[in-house]
Structure formats: structure tokens, C-alpha cells
Structure 1
């Protein structure tokens, strides 16, 4: 199967974001609710532990169960989005996401809460897959990067804000934060009313046509042919390199900034949790700014080049953290790592959307979502587990080496497939 490609970057590429369109507004609002899944709940874990009388490892299952569901079920959700349509999957996911949160308030036991979290994790995967796929269907070239960048920025902003919100609400009761999930229900109703089904035919029709609601829907059946089509679409070196980049970026972020750095700041510098939180918000804040500028970067660089630059930033950030002798230097390292994440994530989705036709795009992006959740799940476990033997300083140096390795792997993967963007740049 031939992948879709885009022309080389140019100064004339359209990076305007159509803020006044229902598509953009619904997608960004849906993405803003996504961090309700983990960042909102993380500060409540000690209260949940005390409320239900469970151990800390048991309480942490509220996080693991949420991610595991997304890892396993994302490909099935992507297949449904290719078969039934993006709008239906997004709306159903938002409604289930919201109602599950509301039901949590009435949960009689920790086991009940855990089961609800599995349902929420599944719905969250639907929101992630549908929103990114709709962007991939609706926009193209640098404008696609711009919208994906804003989408990632909104996600990072929510991840920075919701821990504070969760900490405030849990002071009222252990289940008060879960009431926020109900906001997803009316958003789902509005999305069903105003969204048009996005283009799934794989044709390179203009963004303006698709924004006006015209669709070229060619339903696919969930049979062996569909599976072969998705595997053929994602089996190229370029797409596989993007999956590796996603997994590595999430593993390094969740293992380092969100796990190693807090322990390092507390153990070595004796900092209060509030100060540790400020350092983490610095990383998220940098990621927001850089993600929002992705469309501008795409005017001058290919997606693969942006991803490689992002991993070079990660390598520098890890090296600075390894050499750091003060809190200020660790804060600077976290900001550099945040910038790297802001470069990588939107560009990965843009590259996968470019290379996979609309017929199989949701399936391909759902596999990307599985690698995202897998990296987030394994990162904290891997870093914390290895650190019991090595300490955190050697891990940071290892992170720098790993980031450089991934940058090289992405470059090699693109050369292996004869990346058309690189060829165009060399001829320019």
C-alpha cells in the first residue's frame, strides 16, 4: 500500500488555526478533558488509600488499570473508528468517560472503583484516537502540524493544572474530583450535534472542503483484509520509527521528570512537595509553548527532522540533569526535556497521518496510542526499579544515551524508506 506523503516544507505553508470551526473547538475541549484521567486523580491516591484501607501499591492500581485498558483496547477502538466513523466513536467515548466518573461517587468498594477505572481507560483511549484521527483527516501539511501542536499543548496544560484541582477537591471528599468527569457528557451531546463525519477516503481534498462538512466516506469491514491493510500501512520503517519515538518519549518523560526528578529533589535537596510541583510545572509549561509552535517548525523542517531535534533536546536535558549541582540546574534540565517532548509528540502524529491513508488512519493512530500508554506505564516502574540498585544519577546519563540512540534510529528509519521529505529538501 502506498503511503500518503506531503510536499517539502515551505514558507508559504498555511499554519493558521481555524479557531472558529466546530471541529477545532470540539477537539480541543475533548483533549482538555483527557487529563482528568490521571493527573486529576494522582493527588487523591493517599486519600483513597486511607478511605478504603488498602496499601499504597494497591491504591496505585487506579493508575495502572486506566493505562492497561488503553494499551490493550486502543487497536480495537481504532478499527471501530475506521468502520463506524470518528464522530460516533468520539461521542460514545465522551459520554462513557463522563458517566463512569459520575458513577464512581456511588461505588461501594475499592474493587468497584477499579473496575470503573478500566471502563474509563477504555473510553479515554477512544477520545485520544478519535480526536487525533479527526485532525489527521481534516487538515494537511503544516496546518495539520499546527493543529496537532495546539492539541498537544492543551493536553499538557491540562496535565499541569488538574493535579492542583484534584488536590483541592479531594480535601472535600475522596470522590469529589470524579464529579468533574460529568462535563464530558454535555460535550459529547454537542459534538454529535455540530461535528460532521471527517474524510476517511484517503483523498487529498483540501482542508477547506473538509471543514465545510463534505466527506468522502468509504466504510471498511473489520475482516482479515482490514487487518492486512493496517499492518501494511504501519509496517514501513518510517511509521515504525514514529512508534518507537512515541514509546521512548513517554517512557523517558514518565520515568525521569515525573518519577526520578521528584525523588531526586526530595532526597538530595530536601525540597517540599510544592517546590517539586513547581519544577514539574516548568517542564509541562515548556512543552505547552513548544507544542503550540509546531506548525511554524513544520514550515521549515520535516516531521522526522523535528522528532530527531526533540530527542537531541531530551539528550541534552538528561545530560544537564546528570551534571546538575543545584535545584536551578535541575529545573533548567526539566525545561529542556519538556521542550523535547513538545517537539516530538505532535510531529509523530503528523507523520503517521501523512503516511497512512484515511481508510486505515484510525487503526494506525490507535497503535500509536497503545505505544503511548505502554511507555507511560513502564516508565515509572523501570526508572524506580533500576534506581534501587544504581541510584538516579546513572539513570539520567542512561536517559541521555537512550535519547541519542532513538534520534539515530528515527533518522535511519526515514533513510531506509527513502523519506520523500528528505529527498525534497536535499534537492531544494
Structure 2
């Protein structure tokens, strides 16, 4: 019988100790695009690029994750979370700082691609660490709160980078990517007592992960997760800055503020996800969140006054706060423990595909029809996701793994 990659759950005290690391890794992972989002018009002006060039610039940091996220997950299952996570953070930090000194647009796209190499495994490894240290309702609670930290980061990071760019320059703002180097040192220290993992033959590992990914529930989370990240990074993070610039004439500081507004409602939902799941099934939590997304994007696209824009962004935040952490929790709970890192990483790899395709499609539609058309397309896609949740397999069976 071949050896497995399984190791016993870590003691609860150790779980509490690892939570600050999880949050630091999550915040580092979202910096790739959230930090640069309010800076896009200024960057494009610096290099004399059209609005459509925002798509490739955003997508460059997401593209590596399509291929590398699953590989990083396999590596973390075989050789441990500590060395793999630390290396990812070092690459992220070094590449990110290089973006501040790029001489032309092509070089900037290249450094952001390298930034994406480092960030490819960060979000999934943070979630996997929660799965390693917590079970059951406690796992759901901390996945929700990690998502809330993520959304708070999505509020603070673009706000901070926008303000820094307002007073200094976008190049100074991108030095914030150096946080990855601090996170690397912290990860190496916190995970020093990580249990040693035993490896199984690579062929067996691949077969096990393939079987898990083909189960209807995990396959559904992958499909909708890909669509969801295409919406987040294509519709909101790519089209929203242009929408705020052209229709509302907002400066980089105010654009950063408006992009951060959804974090208020999203964090509220995320911090209370455990309570929400006690009174509503995961299937309906997902369906309702997708409906909020559709409604929010319709409001944003139609908005000509600030109050309607704010209502739309708050609705968008309500949907995001429940949608992503619930998808993550379902995928992790269905995954066999010995393949958890690889399954979650493969899930994130497909999410990265969405992150890459979304900005590219949004950039094309943005150039052809403007930002409102992008938001209408996002609303239609969100309605399709809600329909999948209502008629699909999620929430119709009990998770098979913890």
C-alpha cells in the first residue's frame, strides 16, 4: 500500500497561532491587483496607453497562477507548507518592488507577470492552513473571517495606494509590494514546527486529485469560482476605475475610496458567515449572494448620481462576502485530507484563469462599448451563477471529508 500525504490536525493552540500568518498571506496575495487598481489611469497616462491596455496589465499578474497554482499545491502537499509558502512570498516581494522602477510599459507588464508567479500560491495556501488547523463549524467561521480580512484589505490597500499616488506618485505606491518580504520572514518562523509529511508516488497523487476534482460538487465550485473571479477582476477591478474616472471624474484617491466601499458590507457578511450558515443552507446562501451581485452591478452600470453608485457597490459587497468563502469551504470540505492542498490549489488555478480572462474580456468591451456595458455583462453572468446554485449539486449532499 502506498504512503499517503496525510498528517493529523494540529492542536487548537497551534491553530490560533497560525491565524495571523493566514491573514498576512491573504493580504499579501490580494495586493497584486488591488494595490494597482486605482493607479491604472495614472500608469496608462505615464506610458501613453489607451484604456484597453488596463486589461493586459491586470491580467499579467493573474496569468501565472493558472498553471502554477496547482503545481504549488502539489508541492505543498509533498514537501510541506513552510518552504513552499516562504519561497512564494520572497518572489512576490522582490518582483513587486521592481515594478516601481520600470522604464516602459512592456517592462511593467513583465514585472507584474513575475509578481504573479509569486502570488500564484498565496491565497490557496492561506485557506489550506485554515483547513489544516480547524474542522467543522470552526473551519467555516475562520474561512469566513479570512474572507472578511481579505475584503477589508481590498478596501484599505487601494485606498492607501490611491492616497499615496495622490500625494507622491504611483511608483512610490507600488513599493507596498515589499510587504511580501516581511510575510516571508514571518511564515518561516511561525511554521517552524510544521509536522513532517510523507510522500506517495506522484502518479498516485495525481490520480487521487483527478478523482476528487471530477466529483460533481467540486466541479461545480470550480466552474462558478472561475466565473466569479472573472467578474471580480474583469468587471469590478478593471472597469470600475475607468467608470469612476470617465463618468464621475474622480481622482486616484477618490477612486481608491469608492473601490473600497464594498468591503464594508462584504466584511460584515464574512465575519458572520458561521452564524449565517446556521440558519440558511449553503446552496441558498450562494444563490442569494449571486443575486446581490447581479443587482449591485446593474445599479453601478446605471448610476449617474453618487448615492446610486454607493448602493450598487454595497450590494456587490454583500454578494462577495458570502460567495467566495462558501465556495472555498465547500471545495475544501469535499476534498480528501491527503489531497487538500492540491485540490484547493487547482481550484485557485481555475480562479486565476477567471482572473486572467475577465480583465482581457472587460478591456475589449471597455474599449468597444464603455464601462456600463461591462457592468451589464457582469450582472448577466451573476444571474447565471445564481441559477447554477439553485439547480446544481451543491448543498444537496453531505460533505465527505473534513
Q: How far is the alpha carbon of 1:76 from its aligned partner?
A: 1.1
The question of 1:180 aligning with 2:176 is answered: yes
The question of 1:191 aligning with 2:191 is answered: no
Identify if the C-alpha distance between structure 1 residues 184 and 371 changes in structure 2 by more than 3 Å, giving closer, same or farther: same
* Deviation string, structure 1 residues 3-25 (Cα, Å, up to 9, x no partner): xxxxxxxxxxxxxx989932101
Please identify the structure whose Cα radius of gyration is greater: 1
1:37 match: secondary structure: helix
Q: After the TM superposition, which residues 190-269 of structure 1 pair with which residues of structure 2 at under 5 Å, given as runs? A: 190-195=186-191, 215=195, 217-221=197-201, 223-264=202-243, 267-268=246-247
1:142 and 1:188 map into 2 onto residues whose CA distance is: 29
| 8 Å CA contact retained: 1:90, 1:131 | no
2:200 match: secondary structure: coil
Give the one of 327, 340, 345 matched to 1:366. Answer: 345
Q: After the TM superposition, which residues 44-63 of structure 1 pair with which residues of structure 2 at under 5 Å, given as runs? A: 44-45=39-40, 48=43, 53=47, 55-56=49-50, 61-63=56-58
Q: How far is the alpha carbon of 1:341 from its aligned partner?
A: 0.8
| 8 Å CA contact retained: 1:303, 1:350 | no
1:414 match: secondary structure: coil
| 8 Å CA contact retained: 1:34, 1:155 | no
* Deviation string, structure 1 residues 167-200 (Cα, Å, up to 9, x no partner): 34445455433433333323322322222566xx
* Deviation string, structure 1 residues 35-94 (Cα, Å, up to 9, x no partner): 33222233444555566x563466764432211111221111111111111222111112
Which TM-score applies when normalising by structure 1? 0.78
Q: How far is the alpha carbon of 1:345 from its aligned partner?
A: 0.6
Identify if the C-alpha distance between structure 1 residues 387 and 182 changes in structure 2 by more than 3 Å, giving closer, same or farther: closer
* Deviation string, structure 1 residues 197-219 (Cα, Å, up to 9, x no partner): 66xxxxxxxxxxxxxxxx58342
Give the RMSD, CA atoms, in angstroms.
3.3
1:333 and 1:312 map into 2 onto residues whose CA distance is: 12
The question of 1:292 aligning with 2:292 is answered: no
1:240 and 1:298 map into 2 onto residues whose CA distance is: 22
Q: How far is the alpha carbon of 1:315 from its aligned partner?
A: 2.9
The structure carrying a bigger helix percent of its residues is 2
Q: How far is the alpha carbon of 1:332 from its aligned partner?
A: 1.0
Q: After the TM superposition, which residues 86-101 of structure 1 pair with which residues of structure 2 at under 5 Å, given as runs? A: 86-101=81-96
The question of 1:419 aligning with 2:397 is answered: yes
The unaligned stretches of length 5 or more in structure 1 are: 1-16, 199-214, 422-428
Which TM-score applies when normalising by structure 2? 0.83
2:177 and 2:155 map into 1 onto residues whose CA distance is: 17
2:363 and 2:77 map into 1 onto residues whose CA distance is: 38
| 8 Å CA contact retained: 1:86, 1:197 | no
Q: Which residue of 1 aligns with 2:64?
A: 69
Q: How far is the alpha carbon of 1:276 from its aligned partner?
A: 4.8
Q: How far is the alpha carbon of 1:247 from its aligned partner?
A: 1.9
Aligned length: 387
